[in-house]
Structure 1
Amino acid sequence: MTDDLTANYARAYGTRVGFGKRPALIMIDFCQGYFDPSCDLYAGVEDALASALRVRSAARAAGVPVILTNVVYHPKAIDGGRFYEKAAPLRYFLKGNPMGGWPAGLVPEEDELVVSKQYPSAFFGTSLASTLTALGVDSVLLTGLTTSGCVRATCVDAMSHGFRTSVIADACGDRHQAPHDANLFDMNAKYADVVGEADVITFLHTL
């Protein structure tokens, strides 16, 4: 295909599913390593965190459940499997490593759930889907790191579990703009609505 990318995809994709009636906000893998220039994980994603924190404030004000995820491995990585074998920076998520801790400005509140995982998707090998269903949630608002990794994996699984899925572009980040943009484009085409922070906050104010 040599025609314009947007026009090409518009022939087959472009459906919007919209926000649900009972959303939950999921903040995926915001950890210190992504904000520390000395760490292999560093991605310079301060703007994404700032956006996610603003969305979180609006979600809390609206009574929307907030769920944070992190990656935590056994000190000897015996639960890391092939993901740990493939991705070298995952060594920073061994239990107790400060690079796997929460970054400045993000501390889970007592009424927020933390879901610890070992693989990219927040749904894989966790009770997240059952928790959301028990809460009566019909849709998810995704923020987090990285767009091309754990955000995308969580997006696909959220849709596969039957949740209306919105990815907040401003509140997601990656170590390079190209994979960030490419994955937002693809998620918006096939799995979710990619939306802006302002639109989400406006929606949350209506709840």
Structure 2
Amino acid sequence: MTSDLSENYKKAYSNRVGFGQRPALVLIDFAHAYYDPESELYAGVDAALASALRIREAAHAAGVPVVLTEVTYQEGGINGGRFFEKAKPLHNFIKGRKTAAFAEGLVPRNDEIIVSKQYPSAFFGTSLASTLTAGGIDSVILTGLTTSGCVRASCVDSMSHGFRTIVVADACGDRHPAPHEANLFDMNAKYADVVSEADVLAYLSRLKGGARA
């Protein structure tokens, strides 16, 4: 069945858009909540963060802008709307709670853009799209948590804003492999190119060397 599904999708959805000329790297919601065993959001996604951090270093070395997103709410979630009402674990992102802080190992740098958001997409209700456009960015490399939630929402909005969109499978994570794999499959079919860490590192290395993909 899986083989049949893959072959069926290839008939219509086998296209690749490729890397752009001026990318930005986005690390989506790598928060302590996903690494705290006491949190409802605990996901055990250490490998995804390790991958994202390696890509982040390569991006800086290549002169590629880096964006970190965080989910943050006022006490009581008054600015969270229906999302906060529906998804109970979002209380972990109330400002000041340890679970809302960036995950251990991810310390923002002065030259990185921090986007605070209240909804799944890094683009919805934020200045991210206009900031990237003003900087001449034509493509977005996405990493982060979770694959089925904020990564997917950001992927769809990135494409909708006209950016070539790349999702790094190794640098994304979810609380269960099924939604992780299903959403990578679907994003690759319709909205983005899903690639490996090795693919992205090779691309960034070419940018560092002065070449353009």
TM-score range normalised by the length of the shorter chain: over 0.9
**Paired residue secondary structure (2:115):** strand
Letter in 2 for 1:108: P
Q: Kindly report the root-mean-square deviation, in angstroms, between the aligned alpha carbons of the 2 structures.
A: 1.1
Partner of 1:158: 158
Distance 1:76 1:167 in 2: 33
Letter in 2 for 1:12: A
Distance 2:48 2:4 in 1: 29
Partner of 2:108: 108
Q: Which runs of 5+ in 1 are unaligned?
A: none
Correspondence list, 1:1-207, <5 A: 4-207=4-207
Q: Which runs of 5+ in 2 are unaligned?
A: 208-213
Q: Percent identity?
A: 70
Distance 1:154 1:45 in 2: 19
Distance 1:53 1:136 in 2: 24
TM-score when normalising by structure 2: 0.96
Give the paired residue count: 207
Instruction: Give structure 1 regions of 4+ aligned residues with deviation exceeding 2 angstroms.
Output: none
Distance 2:203 2:180 in 1: 24
Distance 1:195 1:131 in 2: 25
**Paired residue secondary structure (1:15):** coil
Distance 1:119 1:20 in 2: 27
**Paired residue secondary structure (2:13):** coil
CA positional deviation for 1:153? 0.1
Distance 1:134 1:15 in 2: 28
CA positional deviation for 1:76? 2.3
TM-score when normalising by structure 1: 0.98
Task: Mark the CA change 1:3 to 1:205 in structure 2 (over 3 Å): closer, same or farther.
Answer: closer
**Paired residue secondary structure (1:155):** helix
CA positional deviation for 1:77? 1.1
Distance 1:74 1:182 in 2: 33
